[in-house]
Structure 1
Amino acid sequence: MTRLETMLGGSPYVAYLYGYPHKTAYRPLSPAPSLESVWARERREALFLYLHIPFCEMRCGFCNLFTAAGPREDVVQGYLQALTREARRVKEALGPTTFARIAVGGGTPTLLDVAGLHTVFDLAEQVMGADPHRLPVSVEVSPETVDAAKVAALRSRGVDRVSIGVQSFLESEVASVKRPQKTAQVESTLDLLRSAGFPTLNIDLIYGMEAQTEETWLASLRAALRFAPEELYLYPLYVRPLTFLGKKARAWDDQRLALYRAGRDFLRSEGYTQVSMRMFRARHAPAVDGPVYRCQEDGMVGLGCGARSYTERVHYSSEYAVGSREVRSIIASYSERTEASFGEVGYGFVLDEAEQRRRHMILSLLAEGVELAAYRQRFGTEALADFPELAELETHGLARRTPEALRLTDAGVERSDLIGPWLHSEPVRALMEGYSWR
């Protein structure tokens, strides 16, 4: 029996792959290279600028993001000052740069007050040279932290996409994942966001929560559609180490696959196009505007504690943690750093040529598919020769090959969280398995 066949005999929910290698494969880099050397040979015509705000009003029971709940105001201000120092040093190292996208995430960016939000956008525009009025800009918001003044500030700075984590419109379900959320407040916030005229509203929902049924899951989807979101992301519940749910002594599901299929079929019947396992896009969604950005090929500049940056050869970030004490310690150390200290890359992963090819292949396959000519043009070799294991996906009906591309079938898409980890290289798997959660 092959490794894929063994994995197919278990849960389809192994791990969500949104980047490769995963952050748990990062380690201290010694000697630490300079920012200038890391970016020296990189294309800088279509970079993604990401700014991370590692604060929330609360930590949800399923959350393993790098964030601290309920920070004091002096901690927030100290962080923003350090973010300013980092932005200046990074821009110095990058030199002339063109950005294709801007995103502000976390955590919860709208935990910041209006002045704090303007500080973040001032950094993007005045320090980094990324004009929010000319580029697609996405910001994460939450029902508990958004108000009319913050919404007006975001619109005034050119934000054209807001993403809100609702998770469920049933209070009993969100309570089961330690999220004390009131449906009336959620609906009021969604009304506010719609009335503000953001071209794209995204709503995040979660399936697989305790006591959730197909009926209640579809009820949440119907509730979401009342606000005509341009995008919907459907996330399976993951129970991860050190989270509130991860500490509960119980077995978790598995009805997630049935709920996924019910949600997928419902949204398709309502005219939504499935873009990936998680993402669904409405007919009325605006065309994606701005410069072309391809995550397989173009770099990312991450600013802030918890943000990751990607070049072709080096991926790097601050250290990662989930536990409250460790997260706060890392944020405190970040906030004390000098501008000069941000000129070194001390923690990350160096991709050799084999890992660069693998990253391109995995990220392509889990999105629009592996375009064979694009792979050949970039690497000078054939994707299916470099990765003969891909033929096994066809054998099991998980992918279909045409002369132009290899793309996942519906059966493959619903197993994206298995296929991604299956394709990890052995060195990356070993690093991830050796990671010490804290």
Structure 2
Amino acid sequence: MATSAYFHIPFCAHICHYCDFNKVFAAGQPIDDYLRAMDKEMARTAAEFGNRLETLFIGGGTPTVLEPAQLGRLLESIHRHFQFDPQTAEFTVEANPDGLTKEKLAVLREAGVNRLSLGVQTFDDRLLQAIGRTHRRGDIVQAVERAREAGFANISLDLMYGLPGQTLEQFLADLDAAFSLHVPHLSAYSLILEPKTIFYNEWRKGRLHLPGEEAEAAMYEAAMERTEACGYQQYEISNYAFPGFESRHNLTYWNNEEYYGIGAGAHSYIGGVRRANIGPVRHYIAKVDNGEWPHRDVHRLTLQEQMEEEMFLGLRKTEGVSKARFRQKFGRDMHDIFGKAIRAEVENGRLEETETHVRLTKRGKLLGNEVFAAFLGEM
């Protein structure tokens, strides 16, 4: 039984140039029918797999593109089908800075939401326009102020680096702007060119000019150094928090624990089975209304796949993968399965080993994907 749940709202007022998440323009979409279908999937999920939750996350898309009454309906459905203690549970909602009205904030607080994740990306107005974002620097500051006035103390800002035309100086300015807002959690992700995005198509045509690997690495190193100097602790490759403000929901993924996924395109991991819901909104609604699970893909992991995931997900965390936890979960010693890969990565300086954990070095964080690949197909 999972104790975490993700709820996907695929609707957006505007499509960003880099985004490959399951999303559609909100205009003309059957949003009310979609929320009704989500309610049905929640009911079936809770009845079949259990309804006690410790972390909840509403993401998208843009959840705050919903009107206040629609947000209220979604939150009421969650409360009706799942049980959680509002004093101890972590309940996160993603939001765009320019869509966070006082009325919507009040609806979220009333329903027990206690954490906001703001999609800032950059404070540079020119870069914001270049990547297809609709907010501007002033909207970010206003959103944080409004959130605090509404009673939110746990606020996270998402930043991006390696953006087209972005310089190290611009990214340093973004970090300084984020620090000035004194939020307890920051995420900083490098731009990844995903197929079917505007940026990917522009790159294939030779029209997209990116900073390059060396500049991107310098930005990442700056993020690690500057956040530490400002009191943040890096607890995952791309995430930094004041002590006690780490994202418990995202740690569910990196700890390779189970979770529910509700909505079009959502993923779940229950009982050793990974499930992916179909993405198109109307197809999702039709499946649910027909009394079917809205799954596009169902995959039962082999023991080998479970152990590989334990390694490459866990190595994203600064603390790394626990040897004792690995042995407890799988009844095998980590070195019996991955000894060759661990030794090779330690020798080349990308992994280090303590008595209790195997973890990335600073060099390993810069080359994370190469390290993770070393643990695939080891058996």
TM-score normalised over the length of structure 1 = 0.79
2:325 — aligned with what? 374
Per-residue CA deviations over 1:85-139 (Å, capped at 9, x if unaligned) read: 2112222222x44222111111111111112112222222111334545411111
- Alpha carbons 2:175, 2:223 under 8 Å: kept: yes
What's 1:218 paired with? 172
Q: How does 1:51-90 map to 2 (within 5 A)?
A: 51-72=7-28, 75-90=30-45
Matched, 1:280 2:240: yes
1:393 aligns to 2:345 (yes or no): yes
Shift in Å, 1:420: 2.8
Contact 1:90 1:343 in 2 (8 A): no
The CA distance in 2 between the partners of 1:132 and 1:77, in whole Å, is 26
Question: 1:374-413 CA distances to partner (integer Å, 9 max, x unpaired)?
Answer: 1112211111220121221101111111221111111112
Q: 1:261 to 1:299 in 2, by over 3 A?
A: same
Are the structure 2 counterparts of residues 344 and 112 from structure 1 closer, same or farther at C-alpha, using a change threshold of 3 Å? closer
Distance 1:345 1:236 in 2: 30
Against the structure 1 CA distance between its residues 287 and 253, is the aligned structure 2 distance closer, same or farther, given a 3 Å change threshold? closer
- Whether the 8 Å contact between 2:287 and 2:293 is mirrored in structure 1 is no
Q: Corresponding residue for 1:23?
A: none
8 A Cα contact 1:398 1:411, kept in partner: yes
Q: Determine helix, strand or coil for the equivalent of 1:260.
A: helix
Unaligned runs of 5+ in 1: 1-43, 321-329, 428-438
CA distance in 2, matches of 1:424, 1:122: 42
**Mapped contact 2:288–2:294 kept (Cα < 8 A):** no
Q: For 1:182 and 1:261, how far apart are their aligned partners in 2?
A: 26
Q: Which has the higher contact order (CA 8 A, sep 6+)?
A: 1
For structure 2, the residue ranges without an aligned partner over 5 or more in a row are: none
- 1:7-40 Cα shifts (integer Å, max 9, x gaps): xxxxxxxxxxxxxxxxxxxxxxxxxxxxxxxxxx
User: Which residue of 2 is the match for residue 47 of structure 1?
Assistant: 3
The superposition leaves residues 216-248 of structure 1 with CA deviations (integer Å, 9 ceiling, x where unpaired) of 111111111121010000010111111011011
Distance 1:390 1:133 in 2: 41
> Between Structure 1 and Structure 2, how many residues are aligned?
370
1:92-103 aligned within 5 A: 92-94=47-49, 96-103=50-57
> Displaced runs of 4+ in structure 1, greater than 6 A?
287-290
Alignment of structure 1 residues 35-434 onto 2, 5 Å: 44=1, 47-72=3-28, 75-94=30-49, 96-248=50-202, 249-250=205-206, 252-254=210-212, 255-282=215-242, 286=245, 295-320=254-279, 330-339=280-289, 341-343=291-293, 345-367=295-317, 368-387=319-338, 388-425=340-377
CA contact (8 A) 2:13 2:25 kept: yes
Worse-matched range after superposition: 380-389 or 159-168? 380-389
- Aligned-partner Cα distance in 1 for 2:216–2:78: 39
Three-state SS of the structure 1 residue aligned to 2:310 is helix
- Amino acid of the residue matched to residue 103 of structure 1? F
Aligned-pair identity in percent equals 26
Deviations 1:120-172 (A, max 9, x none): 22222111334545411111000122100111111111111100011111111
Query: Taking structure 1 as reference, are residues 426 and 245 closer, same or farther at Cα in structure 2, changes over 3 Å only?
Result: farther
CA deviation after TM superposition for structure 1 residue 348, in Å: 2.8
How far apart, CA to CA, are the structure 1 residues paired with 2:15 and 2:376? 30
Q: Distance in 2 between matches of 1:421 and 1:100?
A: 31
* Conservation of the 8 A alpha-carbon contact between 2:314 and 2:320: yes
**Residue identity matched to 1:89:** R
Tell me if the contact between 2:256 and 2:313 (Cα under 8 Å) persists in the aligned partners: no
The Cα offsets for residues 342-363 of structure 1, whole Å up to 9 and x where unpaired, read as: 3475513221111111111222
Q: Residues of 1 paired with 2:316 and 2:167: CA distance?
A: 28
In the alignment, residue 320 of structure 2 is paired with which amino acid? G
In the alignment, the residues of structure 1 paired with residue 292 and residue 100 of structure 2 have an alpha-carbon distance, to the nearest angstrom, of 32
Amino acid at match of 1:188: Q
1:305, 1:86 → 2: CA distance?
10
User: Offset at 1:252?
Assistant: 3.6
Q: Offset at 1:185? A: 1.9
Structure 2 residue identity aligned to 1:411: R
**Secondary structure, aligned partner of 1:336:** helix
The 1:423–1:69 alpha-carbon spacing in structure 2 relative to 1, beyond 3 Å, is: farther
TM-score, normalisation: structure 2:
0.91
Q: Matched residues in 1 for 2:246 and 2:211: separation?
A: 38
How many angstroms apart in 1 are the aligned matches of 2:72 and 2:134? 29
Contact 1:90 1:342 in 2 (8 A): no
